[in-house]
Structure 1
Amino acid sequence: MRARRLRTGLKGWGGVGAMAVACALAVLFALLLPVARADGGSDGTDSGGHGVARGSQARAAEECTDPEKQTLPPAGDDGPTIDEIRGREGEKRKLIVGVDQNSYRWGYRDPNSGGDAELEGFDIDLVRRIAEDILGDRNAVQFKAIPTDQRIPAIQDGRVDMVVRTMTINCDRLTDVAFSAPYFRTGQQVLAPKSSDITGYDGTLAGKDICTAAGSTALSTLRQDRADGRLAEGVDLRTTVPNQLDCLVRLQLGEVDAVVTDGALAASQAAQDPTVELKGDAFTTEYYGVAMKKDADDLVRRVNQILVQWRADEAEGWQRSYERWLSRTMGGDPAKSEPPTPPQYLREG
């Protein structure tokens, strides 16, 4: 029987006291938010009414190979999407970007930074670089905090120009949105208490309850692995949450035995809570990309050009952002996290 206790020792946003407050608030919101309980079956359907659409998406995904390469070549030309962004007047002349505000070192608000605790992190650096290139002002950004399961709807509904939120490029998502070239390499990994007998993505997960974020690559991967017989027997996948950080709270409360998410995010969460750790190696290879509307070809090309420049900038580019935000959680050697060099652009405009 699982222990129903709150794990102590949360740290990592610059002070134990501040993080205690942040954790308490996170627990409160998590308890108030209903947990989405999917049926946990092996039929591969997601909650939220997407069952009908997934049939055609699955067929399209079967024809997709190397999703990280399915993007347009870089170019600096303007087009209708960029013209629309630049045409906004006054205070509205900003790039509207969907981000996370709860992912430590990626997109988060540091309560110890003073003032308004502005968003900061690796993804935020990239957003500001894009805004500087398109609008000439790195601060010309309207950030919109969106949950994991709302990333694609926010793009399709026109609520944001793009999403920069540790979003994995995969074949299913390419049926709904366009992606830039990869800007970060990662893979799915298991996060569990240090005291747990779980050793990784293996038979030690048998009979365990695992938390994932609704609409995440982790959830779809686990469901597919169960359908293919690769997931340990008796794993319960019913606990899904709107935001991935909520899984850490569930783990701290003893409501689940483990979390599966991108290794980069898991490393940040392990840095926040010294009672949990990554178990085993990453069991997939995936890439983060900037997501945009499918028909925003000019914006996709421009973002890909910006990514080339960002990677090449030794002073304030990709390497500097890694050192600033991620070296403390992922290690000083960024080689395993670097996207493919050179990137490939296989999509035809």
Structure 2
Amino acid sequence: MAAACALTAAAVLLPLAQAAPGGAAPSSLVREPARMAVAPPAPGDTCQDPEASLRPGGLDGPAIQRIRAAGHLVAGVDQNSFKWGYRNPAGQLDGFDIALVKAIAKDILGDEKAVIYRAIPTSQRVPALKDNTVDIVVRTMTINCKRLEDVAFSTAYFEAGQQVLAPKGSAITGYDASLKDRRICTAAGSTAEAALASQSYGSVPVSVPNQLDCLVRLQLGEVDGIITDNALAAGQAAQDPSIQLVGSPFTKEFYGVAMNRDAGDLVRRVNKVLEDYRSGGEDSPWMNAYKTHLKPVLPGVSGPPAPKYRD
């Protein structure tokens, strides 16, 4: 357990990912606010179906032109979520989300390596988009009505649900009264934190900057359980066989690529990429990425969620 904990803690301290060869230096990442095509505000009833996004389009609007002029895509990602966005044994960023970033860069710039990755904590995903520090965030980010007030989303690329992660042998049985007086960890700014604030079941909430910090605290005995997306939790359980998912998912949530609300042309372009990414059934890029990264820790997923559009 101590070894697992030490390895996990070390992962948190790894440096940010590299730029593509020939790309701008990291110091150039703070950008002036861009003049971009405004995405039409979602109608008042859209939040009954927040996964509905702009229809796919391939036109090169202001946001796309700015990315091409820079020569790289700046992507906000995680580097600590096993099988989603993490450092592989060779020290390279890898995972399901990273594969999608590469597909977007390939479509816009013709080179999947033309990416500058910025590792950002959960709580900084929205601010990084609003101030144009990053072009996109691909970081297991759930589409919901609250976030749509601040950022735009692509169509959904993965379906997950909130679930409880606890040590094997724990008295915690799920998101229920068994949480009473237990220290339950969530990442700041996550949907899990919001869920626990709404219904705590008498637990003691513990908030941390990044989801992996919860795993470290659980390994150290500083918390009794974790609430997170079951897709993320499956990766954490694969890292540490002494913990397991308990109970059933108590929400249905969809991950989307997040972008600045003014970058309507980029939203449409990413949705075009996702249309191609889903196409091909068992041989689609989506399924190949799932088989490579997620199937070993999250079996039984038959395919991506169907896209929904609002105009």
Alpha-carbon offset, residue 87 of structure 1: 1.1
- SS of the counterpart of 2:170? coil
* Contact 1:183–1:288 (CA under 8 A) maintained in structure 2: yes
**1:206 maps onto 2:189 in alignment:** no
**1:146 maps onto 2:146 in alignment:** no
Indicate the residue corresponding to 1:261 in structure 2.
228
> What one-letter code is carried by the residue in structure 1 that aligns with 2:253?
E
- SS of the counterpart of 1:223? helix
- SS of the counterpart of 1:64? helix
Matches within 5 A, 1:106-185: 106-110=84-88, 112-113=89-90, 117-185=91-159
**1:22 maps onto 2:19 in alignment:** no
> What one-letter code is carried by the residue in structure 1 that aligns with 2:296?
R
TM-score normalized by structure 2?
A: 0.86
> What one-letter code is carried by the residue in structure 1 that aligns with 2:130?
Q
Q: How many residues align?
A: 281
TM-score normalized by structure 1?
A: 0.77
Indicate the residue corresponding to 2:251 in structure 1.
284
* Contact 2:278–2:284 (CA under 8 A) maintained in structure 1: no
Indicate the residue corresponding to 1:75 in structure 2.
57
Alpha-carbon offset, residue 181 of structure 1: 0.1
- SS of the counterpart of 1:309? helix
> What one-letter code is carried by the residue in structure 2 that aligns with 1:72?
L
Indicate the residue corresponding to 2:39 in structure 1.
none
Indicate the residue corresponding to 1:298 in structure 2.
265
* Contact 1:178–1:292 (CA under 8 A) maintained in structure 2: yes
Q: Could you say if the C-alpha distance between residues 77 and 63 of structure 1 is closer, same or farther in structure 2, counting changes exceeding 3 Å?
A: closer
> What one-letter code is carried by the residue in structure 2 that aligns with 1:255?
E
Indicate the residue corresponding to 2:83 in structure 1.
105
Matches within 5 A, 1:184-203: 184-203=158-177
Q: Could you say if the C-alpha distance between residues 255 and 26 of structure 1 is closer, same or farther in structure 2, counting changes exceeding 3 Å?
A: farther
Q: Could you tell me how far apart the structure 1 residues matched to 2:107 and 2:2 are?
A: 44
Q: Could you tell me how far apart the structure 2 residues matched to 1:204 and 1:319 are?
A: 37
* Contact 1:180–1:290 (CA under 8 A) maintained in structure 2: yes
Alpha-carbon offset, residue 182 of structure 1: 0.1
Alpha-carbon offset, residue 208 of structure 1: 1.1
Q: Could you say if the C-alpha distance between residues 274 and 9 of structure 1 is closer, same or farther in structure 2, counting changes exceeding 3 Å?
A: farther
Q: Could you tell me how far apart the structure 2 residues matched to 1:250 and 1:76 are?
A: 45
* Contact 1:26–1:249 (CA under 8 A) maintained in structure 2: no
**Which digits, 9 at most, give the CA deviation of each residue in 1:230-264, with x for residues without a partner?**
x42x2111x11111100001111111110000000
* Contact 1:68–1:287 (CA under 8 A) maintained in structure 2: yes
* Contact 2:278–2:304 (CA under 8 A) maintained in structure 1: no
Q: What root-mean-square deviation, in Å, do the aligned CA atoms of Structure 1 and Structure 2 show?
A: 1.9
Q: Could you tell me how far apart the structure 2 residues matched to 1:78 and 1:63 are?
A: 26
Q: Could you say if the C-alpha distance between residues 186 and 79 of structure 1 is closer, same or farther in structure 2, counting changes exceeding 3 Å?
A: same
Alpha-carbon offset, residue 21 of structure 1: 5.0
Alpha-carbon offset, residue 64 of structure 1: 2.1
Indicate the residue corresponding to 1:84 in structure 2.
66
Indicate the residue corresponding to 1:344 in structure 2.
308
Alpha-carbon offset, residue 130 of structure 1: 0.2
Alpha-carbon offset, residue 80 of structure 1: 0.6
2:72 pairs with one of 86, 94, 107: 94
- SS of the counterpart of 2:56? coil
* Contact 2:11–2:87 (CA under 8 A) maintained in structure 1: no
- SS of the counterpart of 1:184? strand
- SS of the counterpart of 1:200? coil
Q: Could you tell me how far apart the structure 1 residues matched to 2:219 and 2:57 are?
A: 46
Q: Could you tell me how far apart the structure 2 residues matched to 1:148 and 1:311 are?
A: 26
* Contact 2:11–2:80 (CA under 8 A) maintained in structure 1: no
* Contact 2:182–2:225 (CA under 8 A) maintained in structure 1: yes
1:311 pairs with one of 266, 278, 284: 278
> What one-letter code is carried by the residue in structure 1 that aligns with 2:74?
I
**1:275 maps onto 2:254 in alignment:** no
- SS of the counterpart of 1:143? strand
Alpha-carbon offset, residue 126 of structure 1: 0.2
- SS of the counterpart of 2:295? helix
1:64 pairs with one of 39, 47, 62: 47
User: Among the aligned pairs, what percent are the same residue?
Assistant: 56
* Contact 2:83–2:96 (CA under 8 A) maintained in structure 1: yes
